[in-house]
Amino acid sequence: MDGLNVSIAFFFLVFGLCQVLRWLSKRFLSPGTHGCLAREFAGSFQLCTSCLELRMLMDIGPWGGGFGLDVLLTLLFLLSAVHGASLDGASANPTVSLQEFLLLESSLAATVAKLLAQGGGAGTGWAVTRLYWSWELTQLHFIQNLIAPECSSSIRASLPHAAFVEGSCSFLFHLVLLKVRQSHLLYRVPVLAATVTFLTYTAGPYTGAFFNPALATATTFHCSGSSFWDYIQVYWLGPLAGMLAALLLFQGNIPRLFQKNLLYSQKSKYRVPKAKVTAQVEDDKPQKKRKGGKSNSEPRA
């Protein structure tokens, strides 16, 4: 369990470093630069380093560290919750940034800046994690260094099946995200963390369940066993298609491309039942009669 304790300490160190980076950028940078660059860079760096260390534990831990899948899934849920609570408005996911662009919530320049920052953060996270592994603080890291140069592709299914799996994970994740994105943080964070944990447990054996193009690029694109175009189809086009399908199903349209709702009719949410309208009309008639017949009921001189 010593290896697990060192990994947990590494998670805390990365989280603290990213929090300091967010605080410094918010204090000394303009809001636009902080939102589009520093915040996304810190989020992607935190996500990539945590994911690489956790994947190492999942690959080597059960036989090299003596802890089971229940410990790893619990750790995944907690890391996902901490990550979601500390993002400070960042997405650290290219498909989420593109979704915001399609929803008219972000400009083209801001979206491009976010994508570049996410790629830079993921690449830096990969380099820092590899450096951390090279120190071989635990036996798990020693084993990881031995097998890292000969890593194999995370695609363990046929290409169409793998692309469908990543697209389905992205579809479900974005559907849940669209549903809870306006909810309170105390509700949104555990729901998204549970969704990520479930999708990773279900789809992990087939593709690794990244459903994040930046994270997948930094994690598995350098491994042998699949071509670059195979990786593009599975980890870029698959999640992008899943995001578009979720957005179309949830919204009925894609606001950036067209305003017309293709799936749902535009009807008013508030209707007055006909029975109530009829009752009101019938109730008004006797009142009018009483008002009109008031002079007849008065005594005559």
pLDDT (tens digit, 9 = 90+) per residue, 99-119?
A: 999 999 999 999 999 999 999
Decide if 272 is inside a domain: no
Spatial separation of the C-alpha atoms in residues 42 and 87, rounded to whole Å: 8
Domain presence at residue 264: no
Residues forming a β-bridge with 224 = 152
User: By the 8 A CB rule, do 37 and 208 touch?
Assistant: no
Q: Which comes out higher in pLDDT, residue 296 or 63?
A: 63
The pLDDT of residue 289: 47
Count of CB atoms within 10 A of residue 150's CB?
A: 8
Confidence of residue 81 (pLDDT cuts 50, 70, 90): very high
CB contact at 8 A, 139 and 64? yes
Residues 35-68: tens digit of each pLDDT: 678 999 999 999 999 999 999 999 887 777 677 8
Question: What average pLDDT is seen over the chain?
Answer: 87
Domain count, the chain: 1
pLDDT at 2 over 60: yes
pLDDT of residue 95: 97
Within a domain: 133: yes
Q: What tokens appear for 82 in the block?
A: 């901490």
pLDDT, tens digit, for every residue of 203-256?
999 999 999 999 999 989 989 889 999 999 999 999 999 999 999 999 988 999
Q: Which residue range forms the structural domain that includes residue 209?
A: 1-251
CATH number of residue 4's parent domain? 1.20.1080.10
**Residue 267 belongs to some domain of the structure:** no
pLDDT of 61? 79
User: 261 lies in a domain?
Assistant: no
Type of residue found at 152 = S
Tokens of 14: 């990365």
Q: How far apart are CA 94 and CA 122, in angstroms?
A: 11
Instruction: Tell me the longest C-alpha to C-alpha distance in the chain.
Output: 117
Smallest CA-to-CA distance from 239 within 170, 301, 146 is with 170
pLDDT at 299 over 50: no
Angstrom distance (rounded) from CA 248 to CA 150: 41
Residue 202: inside a domain, yes or no?
yes
pLDDT beyond 60 at 161: yes
- Give CA angle at 99 (86, 22), nearest 5°: 25
DSSP assigned state of 152: B
Query: Do 246 and 170 meet the contact criterion of CB atoms below 8 Å apart?
Result: yes
Is 116 within a domain? Answer: yes
Q: Is the pLDDT of residue 262 over 80?
A: no
Handedness of CA 18, 24, 30, 33 (dihedral sign): negative
Q: How far is CA 232 from CA 61, 71, 163, 274, in A?
A: 29, 32, 9, 56
